[in-house]
Chains A and B, each alone.
Chain A
Amino acid sequence: MIVRLMGYLVLGVCLWIPILCLAQTQSANMTQPADTIVIKNHQFIPLQLMVPAGQKIQITVDNQDPTAEEFESFDLDREQVVEGGKKIIVFIGPLKPGTYKYWGDYHQDTAKGVIVAQ
């Protein structure tokens, strides 16, 4: 019975593979690499990042501090930890034109920034 259950799980996952592959092809064509956001001295650089509206965007968050930080944004629905001295990729959008706040959850007093989609 366990084998049968695992079979259903595998079948379920397999059913989604073509959809994910299709989505991957589409997103690979559509995702625009944007700039990098650097974390240094518990601050985001630049404070304001301009990105194109209406497109899926790939942002690199480069933490140059020795301690971990969490890239968090309610506006963008993202919450990802980046270890000290490491980089992560954050996929966002497509965004409507506007301003989207983000912050570093571990250093909220200093680590603040905005992404402007236009």
Chain B
Amino acid sequence: MKLKITLITVVFIRAIGLSHPVYADKEVYSPIVQKGEIELETKGLYDFDHSKDKNVVQEYKNAIGYSPTDRWATELYGEFERQPQQNDDRTTSISSVKFTHLEWENRYQLTPQGKYWLDAGIYFAYEIPMRDKNPGKIEGKILLEKSTQSLTHTANIIFNKEVGGGTTQETTAGFAWSSRYRLSEHFQPGIEYWIDFGQINERLSFNEQSHQIGPVFYGRLTRHINYDIGYLFGISDAAPRGELKWVIEYEF
């Protein structure tokens, strides 16, 4: 009986896992690091969907970051989430906003900017759960960027793995793409495409994977404040119908 309950719980959590955003934020990372930069950052996601377990899912992250060298940038995040939860009557609802993780994030620029045809970097983050039952998570990314005079294309190849107690998933893989038109310093329209392939040992169909695409606007509001705001449309069943994403940075 106990085994049966455990199995049902695992199946439920995995189903929820497929239906809410796997990524704690939707920022396509550049491999380029600016030495000496101190950064305060807030970013978030807000989902819209007809389904109760996907509507109004929210994730927020606030961070402080620093770049000690011209190759290495590090940030410490506090992560807050509002996620689907199972009620006592077995219905699904959205939880209140909870402080769920502390995250330590690191980016390392592998190539001098512009020296090669492609700029490259790597990213590594560790999420420490703030609730006993939640697993931790490690995230690795390969960061690639190609700039021409008027366009910047950035790609991230993403791997996620839950660690510690309460893990329910094997390694998952994803991909993020951003292309922006460098119209002006203050306003750069672009497009982003996000894919969550799911667990790499499963071969999910297109609709079981999460695919999102939409317009994103980047730029600098003032000398110190940068923004990145957009709306992603879900184009597969697993993705929310719509998702508002934003990143606001104060650099000094």
Residues of A within 8 A of B (CB): 1-2, 4-6, 8-9, 12-13, 16, 19-20, 23-24, 26-27, 31, 56, 68, 74, 77-81, 89-93, 95-96
Q: List 6 interface pairs A-B (beta carbons < 8 Å), by A numbering.
A: A1-B163, A5-B140, A56-B114, A77-B147, A80-B113, A81-B34
B221 vs chain A, min Cβ distance (A): 14
Q: Is the CB of B117 within 8 A of A26?
A: yes
Q: Which residues of B contact A56 (CB under 8 A)?
A: 114
Q: Which residues of A contact B200 (CB under 8 A)?
A: 8
Known: A9-B159, A27-B117, A91-B112. 17 other contacts (CB 8 A): A1-B163, A2-B138, A2-B163, A5-B140, A8-B140, A8-B171, A9-B122, A13-B142, A16-B118, A16-B144, A24-B115, A26-B117, A77-B147, A80-B35, A89-B112, A92-B114, A95-B149
A-B contact count (CB 8 A): 79
Q: Is the CB of A24 within 8 A of B116?
A: yes
Give Cα A40–Cα B184 distance, bound, in whole angstroms. Answer: 29
Residues of B within 8 A of A (CB): 34-36, 70, 110-118, 120, 122, 124, 138, 140, 142, 144, 147, 149, 152, 157, 159, 161, 163, 170-171, 173, 182, 184-185, 200
Q: Which residues of A contact B115 (CB under 8 A)?
A: 24, 27, 31, 91
Q: Is the CB of A91 within 8 A of B113?
A: yes
Q: Which residues of B contact A4 (CB under 8 A)?
A: 161, 171
Give Cα A80–Cα B69 distance, bound, in whole angstroms. Answer: 11
Chain A residue at smallest Cβ distance from B67: A81
Q: Which residues of A contact B124 (CB under 8 A)?
A: 9
